[in-house]
Amino acid sequence: MSDHMLTSAHPELVEGSVKGLRQALPERDGVQLLNHRADFPGLVTANGDPWHYLDTAATAQKPHAVIDAIARAYGRDYATVHRGVYARSADMTRAYEDARRKAAAFIGGREDETVFTRGATEGINLVAHSWGITNLKPGDRIMLSQLEHHSNIVPWQLVAERTGAVIDVAPLTYDGQIDLDVMAAMLTARHKMVALAHVSNVLGSVLDARRAADLAHNVGALLLLDGCQAVPRLAVDIAALDCDFYVYSAHKLYGPTGIGVLWGRAGLLDAMPPWQGGGAMIDRVTFARTTYAPPPQRFEAGTPHIAGAVGLAAAIDYVTGIGVEAIHAHETELVEAAQEALAGINALTVFGPRASAGILSFALEGVHPHDIGTILDEGNVAIRAGHHCAQPLMDHLGVPATARASFGVYNTLDDVDALVRGLDRVRRIFG
């Protein structure tokens, strides 16, 4: 079992409270916990009580700034984009394309390399079915890892079945990192694509993405990074990472559902055929022949998610206004607090590395994660319980599911305290 069980120097903190936790934890220069809870209207129950939302890795709550931007986009500002000759359509087109520029700049990319999708899942599927079907042939190989989300496994399986390509799986280190040393030994000239999570949605482990890119490129392969869990908490610069494709979703970045981003190198996108047909992605249509628009429009068939793009832009403004580095430091402090407070529970196993990016997965001996989640919910604590769309990783860990607490910019030590008190109640109920 590749798990990492934390031990505590402060077992007195386990019994129901993290009071005094700041004094117990090592100080780190320059780190100050943030206080943005008031920006998020969803963090109260129907009775007006505090709701301790610890499921940000699944989807983030939305700040007023994003909600207001979406309301304006659907209200006073609403019009179609790219088609109308009237003023409001032109204004909305500018807002939509401004959102593309922000989405590109947020990860250090160019707008002509930035495709709007329904989410990271669609972005990976787009690459797999457009680039993959065009470029893969029998005997070619695709490298994934043991910790991938299903969205970075199933599209490649579908393409492998159609092309005759073969999938390899890089193992993990003892503490839940992708083992790049072993992956380096596995890679061959037959590998054409390496597709990896930048941050694990279960373990919070952070990939050494630049080394992964170097390893892929050394054998002539491309690197696709799933950045869903990275962009809300890490500063991402695709030039420094040297990847070839990068995907992320708005809803994990405090933005709306139904929209995401695929960034790809211009030369790769230009050589890829469209994978959906319809309006907006064409140059000229006749019954004899159709020619297509250049990227990114080539991959955006149909009327786009206009309000979603505006909401994504507002979310990026919100996050950059706080600072991704500050958010990462804040979440790191909260994860460390939770690790320290829970480590004295002998029956509790924490999976993954100590340096986890905003995510804490654990199991309590003799208690199913669903029971943990149900009991915590009775105390207004919301966590995720299940396989987290990572069943191969669960098999690797030797468990059917885990409980997962994941943090965001709105969480505080009160949320950690509520989690600890809730788990103390779980232990009492199950003896």
List the catalytic residues.
389
CB 169 within 8 A of CB 191: no
What is the bridge-based pairing of β-strands 260-264 and 114-117? antiparallel
| 428: number of Cβ within 10 Å | 10
Q: Which two tokens stand for residue 102?
A: 């922000």
Range 124-157 burial, b when 16+ CB lie within 10 A, else e: bbbbbbbbbeebbeeebbbbbbbbbbebbbbbbe
Q: Which two tokens stand for residue 119?
A: 């989410």
The single-letter code of the amino acid at 102 is K
CB 324 within 8 A of CB 234: yes
Which pair of structure tokens corresponds to residue 349?
Answer: 């196993």
Q: What is the DSSP string of 236-255?
A: --HHHHT-SEEEEESGGGTS
Among 311, 223, 302, residue whose Cα is nearest residue 264: 223
Residue 375 tokens, joined:
């009991």
DSSP, res 431: -
Q: Which helix (H) or strand (E) holds 179?
A: none
Closest by CA position to 406, among listed 57, 62, 60, 148 = 57
